[in-house]
Each structure stands twice: as C-alpha cells, then as structure tokens.
Amino acid sequence: MDKVQLGEFAKSLDPEIEIKEGRQFIEVTIPSPKFYQFAKKIRESDETYFDYLSCLTGVDYGHDLGVVYHLFSTKYNHGIVLKTRTTDRENPHLDSVSDIWKTADFHEREAFDLLGIRFTNHPDLRRLFLDSSWGYPLRKDYVDDINIVTK
C-alpha cells in the first residue's frame, strides 16, 4: 500500500482519527482510549501486517505527553507513524503495546524513565537508566539546579 491507501485503510478502521501525510510516512493520530485496539488491528490485519516496531518515542508537547510509534511491515515493505497523547501530566497513563510488539518493552521503559509515562499492562515497568531521585529529565518543566547548564 502507498501512503494514501494506508490513510484510507486507517480511516476505515476509525473515521474519527486524524490523518496527516508526512514527508516519508502517513501519520495517524489516535485518541489514547482507542489506541491499543487500533494498534492491534493494524498488526493483525492481512492488508497491513505491521509486524515491526522500529521506534517508540516519548514526547513532551508542553500541555500533553505523548508517544510516537514507527511501524513497518516486513511482508509488504510499507511504514506508518502512529501518535497518541495524554493530557494528564500529573499521572500520565497510556496502554502498553508490548504484547503486540515485543520491542516495545524497553522503549516503553525508557519513556517511563525519562518522561514519567506509565504504560498500563506493561510486564515489567521500572526505571531503565536512572534512579528515582532524578525525576523525569526529558520533561520541559524539569529543573535540576546542580546538573543542568543554563544560558
């Protein structure tokens, strides 16, 4: 499928999602309550078969925290970008996709460690790099008077 066909297929699964044609991939933004089911459908669908999660990145958008997923099909040689967000900065939760793509396990742990995003149903959600004294250093509101260099 090309980008247009992937966008049409995604819309057929849920007409309320937002589709944007990026430079390289189609970008699909899905509300967080619908994200897990959408991800499972495009993984299991014979038309798309997105069997490879190459990257999962946590993002601090300022008001929202989100995750960007880069997916590929090794069978059909096409890719897609999925995005989802949570507006709850104090207690951010998103559904884990580690049971759909095993690669998500460590990626989700990294997003938890550096941004504080908790992934519901993750099999082993604990900090990967830092201890709890650090807080969440990739958040825009993070302050560390000792280690951070300012202008």
CATH superfamily, with its number, for domain 3-134:
NADH:ubiquinone oxidoreductase Nqo5 subunit (3.30.460.80)
Q: Are 35 and 17 in contact (CB under 8 A)?
A: no
Question: What is the predicted pLDDT for the residue at 132?
Answer: 87
Tell me the CB-side half-sphere exposure of residue 41, using CA atoms within 13 A: 13
Question: What is the predicted pLDDT for the residue at 141?
Answer: 87
Give the predicted TM-score (pTM) of the model.
0.92
Burial of residue 35 (number of CB atoms within 10 Å: 0-12, 13-18, 19+):
buried
Q: How far is CA 135 from CA 24, 58, 88, 127, 132, in A?
A: 35, 15, 16, 11, 6
Question: What is the predicted pLDDT for the residue at 51?
Answer: 97
Tell me the CB-side half-sphere exposure of residue 8, using CA atoms within 13 A: 6
Question: How far is Cα of residue 75 from the mean position of the Cα atoms in its chain?
Answer: 22
The torsion angle over the Cα atoms of residues 75, 49, 82 and 108, rounded to 10 degrees, is -90
62: phi > 0 → left, psi -120 to 50 → alpha, else beta; which?
left
* Structural domain spans, the chain: 3-134
Per-10-residue mean pLDDT, the chain, length 151? 91 94 93 97 96 97 96 96 96 97 97 97 94 90 72 56
C-alpha closest to that of 107 among 38, 36, 55:
55
